[in-house]
Structure 1
Amino acid sequence: MLEKMKDEVELISRHLEVARAVADHQPIGIMKLSELLREPSHRIRYSLHVLEQLGYIRASPEGAVATARTVELFTHLNEDLDDLIRLIESMKREE
């Protein structure tokens, strides 16, 4: 069960890394993102697809660009991650 959760967290981490790279280097294409992030293009393509479906990026003729939703995501990211950390910490068994 926890292995599945770890895999999901790693995937979300990659999506966040791609979203951050798009926001910092927009417009940017798959090949440039792949080179920049040192990830295979199929992984970048998948992350871009997920981010587009969630409204964090949009495709343009020049490449991916961030949306206002991405700005909001990164504005509150640390607080949201702190909330998740507290939740996970609360799952620990006290001995």
Structure 2
Amino acid sequence: MIDRLEKEVDMLERHLQVLKMVLENEPIGIVKMSNETGYPHHKVRYSLRVLEEENLIEPSSQGAIKTEETEDFVADLDDKIDSISETLERMKIENTAEAEN
């Protein structure tokens, strides 16, 4: 169960790194992203597909570019990550308390 969560967090981190590269370098293609991040082409391609399905990027003839929804997503991202972190921290505290009893 925790292994699956760790894999999801790793994948989310990759998706966000790919999104950051698009924001900083748009338009940008798979090869450049792969070379700069060290991720294999197929993982970059998958992240781009996920970001496109979420309407955070769109393809262009020169490479991936942001969409109208990207800025709102990025603006809300810290709050969402904070909320998840708080939930995990609460779970950790509850687990520690139960282990002490």
TM tier relative to shorter chain: over 0.9
Instruction: Say yes or no: does 1:39 pair with 2:39.
Output: yes
Structure 1 vs Structure 2 CA RMSD: 0.9
Distance, in Å, in 1 between the alignment partners of 2:58 and 2:31 is 16
Structure 1 alignment gaps of length 5 or more: none
The answer for the alignment partner of 2:75 in structure 1 is: 75
Query: How many residue pairs are counted as aligned between the two chains?
Result: 95
Distance, in Å, in 1 between the alignment partners of 2:43 and 2:65 is 18
- The structure with higher relative contact order (CA 8 Å, sep 6+) is 1
The answer for the alignment partner of 1:19 in structure 2 is: 19
- 1:36, CA displacement in angstroms? 1.5
Q: Post-superposition, which runs of at least 4 consecutive aligned residues in structure 1 deviate over 3 A?
A: none
Per-residue Cα deviation, 1:4-25 (whole angstroms, up to 9, x for no partner): 0110011011000000100110
Per-residue Cα deviation, 1:6-57 (whole angstroms, up to 9, x for no partner): 1001101100000010011000010011112111111100000111011010
**Scaled by the length of structure 2, what TM-score is found?**
0.89
Distance, in Å, in 1 between the alignment partners of 2:51 and 2:6 is 20
The answer for the alignment partner of 2:4 in structure 1 is: 4
1:42-53 equivalences in 2 (<5 Å): 42-53=42-53
The answer for the alignment partner of 2:29 in structure 1 is: 29
- 1:91, CA displacement in angstroms? 1.2
Instruction: Provide the identity percentage.
Output: 37
Distance, in Å, in 1 between the alignment partners of 2:31 and 2:49 is 15
Distance, in Å, in 2 between the alignment partners of 1:7 and 1:47 is 14
